[in-house]
């Protein structure tokens, strides 16, 4: 009776502490996992969404519309002056002062202007030298208005985003889902079950299975600049080690692989690593369960080594993690810079 009461008090304490950090998006829950010592680990995950909550959120996301494109810093523009080849310019980058430099008229500030407004401004500048100048401005790269899609698509990368662009448009622009051969048949390599889209550091309640296989267009949400889409592989037999480690990468999964193995493969810890606060994300970022592991206790024999599963993310933080959104914000930069298809490491290849 005493042990049960003590456990209940502990759970309530953790619930109150983490619930204050983000009541709407993050609450702790205990995970029933027979292969682990429940007394040794802290189990924390994102609040499961009900079906009605998902529908309501998707309806709100359907209402979101991108503001009309305005020229931003680092955008690349082509400026053509009709019948004046020597005055036309290509690959002009908008500088930090918001200007581009044009022949004859010099610097013209175009940042935060629409394309039509910038065109009118350039034409007015050329009126001092030309009769009824006609100017065309074409955005070549829109750094201020783009989305990123990585994983098992035809061409991973960052793409300019246009108004009214949807998730299906983004996938089509990237060349659709990648396919491969299995026993003489063409098979889809994209793992739709664990694919996800992140906006402002938060995973959106979009189901790629319902969108692609069930044709539920409620999940075909309009995109916004900065959206990040990841399509994992169906042949995912890897674990990922990120954070305060020398070699952040994906590593081939092996039977009975543990956190200790993952730490060894990634070269140990960097200075400042929070070894007592290692997080293991299981189930992908679309439906996560997060485990907290105290690594020094494993080394001291006070805790069983944590057994990993294919697809697990092992994250070693350098700063305190208060809630799920905090964890996502720390993990996402690595997701955006690593293309898993190119960074997979095998234990033998490191010898």
State how far the Cα of 153 lies from the Cα of 175, in Å rounded to an integer.
6
Q: What is the pLDDT of residue 36?
A: 47
Q: Which CATH class is domain 145-231?
A: alpha beta
Between CA 248 and CA 256, with CA 253 as vertex, the angle to 5 degrees is 120
Q: What is the pLDDT of residue 32?
A: 34
Q: What is the pLDDT of residue 214?
A: 92
Fold of 70-141: wza like fold (3.30.1950)
Q: What is the pLDDT of residue 226?
A: 86
Q: What is the pLDDT of residue 210?
A: 92
Encode pLDDT of 53-70 as tens digits.
Answer: 888 989 999 998 877 778
Q: What is the pLDDT of residue 350?
A: 39
Encode pLDDT of 160-203 as tens digits.
Answer: 887 678 999 999 999 998 876 554 555 567 888 778 898 887 88
CATH code of the domain made up of 236-335: 3.10.560.10
Could you write out the three-class secondary structure of the chain?
CHHHHHHHHHHHHHHHHHHHHCCCCEEECCCCCCCCCCCCCEEEEECCCCHHHHHHHHHHHHHCCCCCCCCCCCCEEEEEECCCHHHCEEEEECCCCCEEEECCCEEEECCCCCHHHHHHHHHHHHCCCCCCCCEEEEEEECCCCEEEEEECECCCEEEECCCCCEHHHHHHHCCCECEEEECCEEEECECHHHCEEEECCEECCCCHHHHHCCCCHHHCCECCCCCEEEECECCCCEEEEEECCCCCEEEECCCCCEHHHHHHHCCCCCCCCCHHHEEEEECCCCCCEEEEECHHHHHCCCCCCCECCCCCEEEECCCCCCCHHHHHHHHHHHHHHCCHHHHEECCHHHC
Residues of the chain with pLDDT under 70: 1-49, 144, 163, 180-188, 235-237, 284-287, 332-351
Q: What is the pLDDT of residue 242?
A: 87
Provide CATH 3.10.560.10 ranges for the chain. Answer: 145-231, 236-335
Provide CATH 3.30.1950.10 ranges for the chain. Answer: 70-141
């Amino acid at each position: 009776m005493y042990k049960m009461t003590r456990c209940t008090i502990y759970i309530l304490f953790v619930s109150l502490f983490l619930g204050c950090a983000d009541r709407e998006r993050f609450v702790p829950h205990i995970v029933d996992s027979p292969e682990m010592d429940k007394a040794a680990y802290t189990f924390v995950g994102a609040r499961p969404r009900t079906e009605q909550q998902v529908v309501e959120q998707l309806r709100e996301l359907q209402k979101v519309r991108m503001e009309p494109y305005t020229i931003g810093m680092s955008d690349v523009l082509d400026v053509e002056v009709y019948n004046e080849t020597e005055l036309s310019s290509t690959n002009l980058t908008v500088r930090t002062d918001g200007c581009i430099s044009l022949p004859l008229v010099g610097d013209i500030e175009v940042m935060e202007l629409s394309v039509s407004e910038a065109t009118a401004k350039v034409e007015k500048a050329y009126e001092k030298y030309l009769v009824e100048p006609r100017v065309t401005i074409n955005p070549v790269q829109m750094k201020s208005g783009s989305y990123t899609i990585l994983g098992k698509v035809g061409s991973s990368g960052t793409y300019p985003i246009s108004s009214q662009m949807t998730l299906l448009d983004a996938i089509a622009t990237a060349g659709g889902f990648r396919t491969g051969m299995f026993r003489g048949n063409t098979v889809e390599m994209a793992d739709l079950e664990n694919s996800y889209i992140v906006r402002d550091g938060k995973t959106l309640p979009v189901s790629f299975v319902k969108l692609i296989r069930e044709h539920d267009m409620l999940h075909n949400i309009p995109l916004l600049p900065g959206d990040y889409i990841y399509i994992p592989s169906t042949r995912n037999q890897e674990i990922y080690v990120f954070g305060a480690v020398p070699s952040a990468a994906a590593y081939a999964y092996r039977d009975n692989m543990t956190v200790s193995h993952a730490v060894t493969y990634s070269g140990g810890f960097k200075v400042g690593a929070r070894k007592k606060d290692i997080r293991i994300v299981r189930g992908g970022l679309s439906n996560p369960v997060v485990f907290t592991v105290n690594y020094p206790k494993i080394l001291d024999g006070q805790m069983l080594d944590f057994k990993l599963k294919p697809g697990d993310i092992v994250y070693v933080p350098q700063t305190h993690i208060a809630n799920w959104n905090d964890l996502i914000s720390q993990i996402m930069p690595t997701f955006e810079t690593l293309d898993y298809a190119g960074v997979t490491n095998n234990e033998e290849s490191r010898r």
